[in-house]
Amino acid sequence: MDQEHLDDLADKIADGKCVLFTGAGVSINAGGPNWDTLLQDTMQHFEYSTRLAEPEDLDGEHEIEHFRVFSDIVRKNSAEEVHQFVRSELEDIELSEPVRSLARLPWHATFTTNYDRSLENALISEQNNQNIRVIKTGDEFPSTGHPANLLCVKLMGSLEIPAGEKGSMVITKGEKTKAFDEKSRIFDVLMGQVSNLSVLFLGYSFRDDIFTNLLERVIVDQGEPKVDHYALFRDWDDYDEDDQYYLESRGIKPISGNLSDFAPALIDEVSARDPDDPRIKGSESGIV
């Protein structure tokens, strides 16, 4: 784990100058399914087969257009049935320690591309001094922030909202396009407010097009990076030089490691910068 990058990141978080983005890896760490497993279980449940995704391809090594396959499953069944099944697979996911500890940190705002409630539940439980304002449709988004509100923005929908309604889970290609259009106002407003803030990406892979789309959107809204951004990659050393150059040219400071080791290390570093902050306790306190 790169200690210099960890130190710099901890400084930003302690000063309230960091925005958190969480992806599927955070929910997977909490016991949730990865994309391939979720798709495979959905195919089995609906007795669906297709040349778009052969069973042997769902091994994490092949490129699968998950949204395209889900679109076809919905076409052959119904959006309500597919959403109900996906909801049943995800509704019990909850963050556990040490990753849950990250919800205590003084984030400027939080975003997630996960459907489940694990991040918002952890924030509501751990952020004792702030109201958590969950943004599911974009209509709830305030034109101006309030210092007592910590935003949790659900970029890809929420499992609580019925299929077809604004803010429901994004599982088809059409829903994905629509969701990014609907959330554009959120990006426009928030990125105008956080142009000098850093972003920490957790639970994403460089091979995840959601991550690269988010990254490019941040760059479009903020311009060329004026501050450093950070991303945790479990397999950073496996990326080739072109991938590493792309991320570093976008202002990304990579941190190599796994989430369970990263979380307590970051908590300790932030806690050391403000030991009197009651929200933050280091791993030595026994909380994590």
Residue 207 has pLDDT above 80, yes or no: no
Residue 139 has pLDDT above 80, yes or no: no
Confidence of residue 283 (pLDDT cuts 50, 70, 90): very low
In CATH terms, the fold of domain 3-31+97-276 is Rossmann fold (3.40.50)
Are residues 29 and 259 in contact, defined by beta-carbon separation less than 8 angstroms? yes
Burial of 145 (0-12, 13-18, 19+ CB in 10 A): middle
> How is residue 124 written in tokens?
């509501």
pLDDT digits (tens, 9 = 90+) for 1-40: 688 999 999 999 999 999 999 999 999 999 999 988 999 9
Residue 169 has pLDDT above 90, yes or no: yes
pLDDT digits (tens, 9 = 90+) for 35-56: 889 999 999 999 988 776 655 5
Of 78-82, 118-122, 239-243, the least confident: 239-243
Are residues 8 and 228 in contact, defined by beta-carbon separation less than 8 angstroms? yes
Three-class SS state of 70? helix
Burial of 207 (0-12, 13-18, 19+ CB in 10 A): exposed
Of 131-135, 192-196, 253-257, 259-263, the least confident: 192-196
- Select the more confidently predicted residue: 210 or 186: 210
Q: What is the overall mean pLDDT for the chain?
A: 83
Residue 120: the pLDDT is 95
Domain range summary for the chain, segments of one domain joined by + = 3-31+97-276, 35-90
Of 42-51, 99-108, 275-284, the least confident: 275-284
Please report which residue ranges of 46-108 form alpha helices under DSSP H: 66-76, 79-90
Q: Which residues contact 104 (CB under 8 A, 6 or more apart)?
A: 126, 127, 267, 279, 280, 281
Cα 21 to Cα 23: distance, rounded to the nearest angstrom: 7
